[in-house]
Structure 1
């Protein structure tokens, strides 16, 4: 198994996921696709920036490191290119852990928000969280309790569900790179292929 090629494949997958996570979090600032007059009426989980920081920014750095691993030997070490590649693979495991923590943060925030439901307008100048323990997930009739913003319930539910899935996938990919990085550290750059990489001649 070529650990560098596998890491490059993982990095290439993480980049679009990070961009989608970033975009999903940005859209949460516009409930129902509308600009809200008072930002304090947004669900507080939106302000935790799970998709922007966790699945977004904190994921870009590991992804870039993974992408460059195949040709990175850390300028060699102890006069040995193989030693340099092992050190680069070890470093990638540290970035993979950082990515895992960031994705886990986004995953947890999304799960909490989905269970809690969005903050919405109930009438009589009242903005609050009308749902309890995810009861609205199995009873869409409760969605009518929210008078505004329009379609805020499906909007938040859809975007936080996307962030939940993205965070879960990113956690798996980072965990795979931790294992891949440790193999590369212990065994060096092996022969063969991973994620479609061809066996060198």
Structure 2
């Protein structure tokens, strides 16, 4: 049990910086090139307002991170099984949060940025289903905010990568917690019968 608790704590410690990076990446999306005028004028892409990185990959991910780190503070055997069940629930919350972050970031990438073109403010790449990502020569269609395509693509790919890492970590703890929640009572009964 000590090994599984230590493993869970390591996973929790790994989740913390990932969650903070998701929050930071999402906040940077709100301020293209560090400018505040576009958020004030409501000129941001619609999916950015769904806060995939801030909510799903960030704040929601703090729940499993804290749950995994604080696992095993009580030495009572019944509480160990109960804590592992709690870690399974926290891992499921983490899977949902990272899945949400991944989905919103992917949809935002497919939609493309909201920017000013020669035809006014629009989504110039929305009808391309993400093909614009492989055609950097058409990115200059967006005149304002300056370099918005590069800004969004970079940050959204960062969010996608972080969401995948968070998902893997929560999946590992889900397996760890399920194995220990199921096997620990069995092992405890075997130990009890051997001592009797």
**Fold match by TM threshold 0.5:** yes
Q: 2:56·2:97 contact (CA, 8 Å) conserved in 1?
A: yes
The whole-number CA distance in structure 1 between the counterparts of 2:53 and 2:41 is: 18
1:86-125 alignment runs, 5 A limit: 86-123=81-118
Task: Please list every run of at least 4 consecutive aligned residues from structure 1 whose deviation after the TM superposition is greater than 3 angstroms.
Answer: none
Stretches of structure 1 lacking an aligned partner (at least 5 in a row): 74-80, 190-201
The whole-number CA distance in structure 1 between the counterparts of 2:32 and 2:145 is: 6
More helix by share: 2
The whole-number CA distance in structure 2 between the counterparts of 1:55 and 1:178 is: 17
Q: Flag the structure with more relative contact order, 1 or 2, with Cα contacts below 8 A and sequence separation at least 6.
A: 1
Aligned pair count reads 181
1:149 aligns with 2:179: no
The whole-number CA distance in structure 2 between the counterparts of 1:56 and 1:144 is: 31
Residue 144 of structure 1, CA deviation: 1.1
TM-score (norm 1): 0.86
RMSD over equivalenced CA pairs, Å = 1.5
TM-score (norm 2): 0.88
Residue 95 of structure 1, CA deviation: 0.9
Structure 1 residues 162-199: Cα deviation after superposition (integer angstroms, max 9, x where no partner): 0000011101111111110011212339xxxxxxxxxx
Residue 40 of structure 1, CA deviation: 2.0
Quote the residue 2:30 is aligned against: 29
1:158 aligns with 2:154: yes
SS in 1 for 2:124: coil
Residue 99 of structure 1, CA deviation: 0.8
Quote the residue 1:6 is aligned against: 7
